[in-house]
Amino acid sequence: MAYSSIIKPSTFMNPKIYTGNSGTNAITGVGFKPDWTWIKGRSTAYSHNIYDVVRGVTKIMRSNSTGAESTQNTSLTAFGTDGFTLGSYDESNYNNATYVSWNWKAGTSFTNDASGTGIGSIDSAGSVNTTSGFSITSFTGTQTAGTIAHGLGAVPKLIIVKARTQEDGWYVYHVSNTATKYQRMETTGTLGSGAAFWNDTAPTSTVFSVGNGTGTNYNGAMIAYCFAEKQGFSKMGSYIGNGNANGTFIYTGFKPAYVMTKCTSDSSNWEIKDNKRSPFNNVDDYLKANASSAEDAGVASHAMDFLSNGFKQRGNNDEVNGNGRTYIYWAFAENPFVASNYNAATAR
């Protein structure tokens, strides 16, 4: 049996729920200093708020919008050693509203001068964690096909790219779709194709490729979130639904803390489920990355079970488990199925 070297996944990725107070609000208990924090109101129909250390605090992007990055001085004002601090901004901290934050750790700065290193053709810089397989990569686009160093030292299987200063979509590369296809996270749309986005070229352990399209290579500031699979911690794959409550089982090699799914063959929402909003099976509370709507709670037709070694669909809704429909997912662990210390994950 293959073991995971990441014994405690929550030191690299951890969901955290909290209640807003419309004032200064120090959110602790994340378990590490986050470098990427994604916040969504559960009880309120506020936009998703996405922050990272590379772009800097108070800089917001919204996964449900094509809008450019905005600055809100009373939003997320600091990343702390065990969480983050919020100001009074309603979208992330309205009084008595409930929220969830999804937090990832990168932590090691990197820069790449492409002409000096011979790696890639476009300069990049960012923050990376090679243990957990996550990097935040900033670059200035050229609108000419090129390659960009991501710092992972492993092949990314998921890349999410957004123009910072230009109104444009969230372009997603997923290994199951291949580099000839893309999806946009702010929409319910199906797969698109065209070399303008990933240049029809799969990423490597050193670089990812972009075409000449503004969505991934606008002539200005760009940001990319890149993920490599790590055994027992993260998994990016696909499955085919069967349309019934004894649904498809997806093996990940860990008990999930977080799962996002999206149908590729039909229009659907990008559904996010996690172990903090749904601490017990069935996992039937979900938010939509492409929508500002409040949480859909207790929806049996969208439910799944988080198991010790993967997840199993328990609903029959076409958005998550339609018969014969194809879905992509990405998932992060609460516990590896078996860690290198021989401790095994237990079922919920």
Predicted confidence (pLDDT) per residue in 194-247, tens digit: 999 999 999 999 999 999 999 999 999 999 999 999 999 999 999 999 999 999
> Would you state the torsion angle of the CA atoms of residues 24, 30, 32, 36, taken in this order, to the nearest 10 degrees?
-80
189, 265: one domain: no
Q: pTM (2 decimals)?
A: 0.96
Please give the tally of structural domains in the chain: 3
184, 266: one domain: no
Whether residue 49 has pLDDT greater than 80: yes
What is the CB neighbour count within 10 angstroms for residue 122?
A: 20
Judge whether 348 lies within some domain: no
259 touches 320 (CB < 8 A): no
247, 327: one domain: yes
Judge whether 253 lies within some domain: yes
214, 241: one domain: no
Distinct helix (H) and strand (E) counts, the chain: 5, 27
44, 82: one domain: yes
What is the CB neighbour count within 10 angstroms for residue 132?
A: 24
Judge whether 345 lies within some domain: no
68, 13: one domain: yes
Give the type of residue at 181.
Answer: K
76, 95: one domain: yes
Paired strand residues for 192? 182
Within its chain, how far is the Cα of 201 from the centroid? 22
Running DSSP on this structure, what letter comes out for residue 9? Answer: G
Domain boundary among 104, 134, 165: 104
290 touches 64 (CB < 8 A): yes
- Band (pLDDT 50/70/90 cuts) for residue 156 is very high
223, 300: one domain: no
Judge whether 346 lies within some domain: no
What domain range is 44 assigned to? Answer: 9-104
217, 239: one domain: no
Of 140, 23, 43, the residue nearest 98 (C-alpha): 43
Could you tell me whether strands 98-104 and 83-86 are parallel, antiparallel, or unpaired per DSSP bridges? unpaired
Question: What would the DSSP string read from start to end of 95-110?
Answer: TT-EEEEEEE---EEE
Could you tell me whether strands 207-210 and 192-193 are parallel, antiparallel, or unpaired per DSSP bridges? unpaired
pLDDT at 5: 81
Tell whether the torsion through CA atoms of 295, 276, 241 and 4 is positive or negative. Answer: positive
Whether residue 16 has pLDDT greater than 70: yes
- pLDDT tens-digit profile of 97-147? 999 999 999 999 999 999 999 999 999 999 999 999 999 999 999 999 999
Judge whether 50 lies within some domain: yes
330, 251: one domain: yes
Integer Cα distance of 101 and 287 in angstroms: 12
47 touches 29 (CB < 8 A): no
pLDDT at 1: 47
239, 309: one domain: yes
Judge whether 142 lies within some domain: yes
Judge whether 1 lies within some domain: no
Domain boundary among 79, 104, 129: 104
Judge whether 90 lies within some domain: yes
Domain boundary among 197, 228, 259: 228
257, 310: one domain: yes
pLDDT at 4: 74
* Average pLDDT of the chain, as a whole number: 95
Whether residue 333 has pLDDT greater than 90: yes
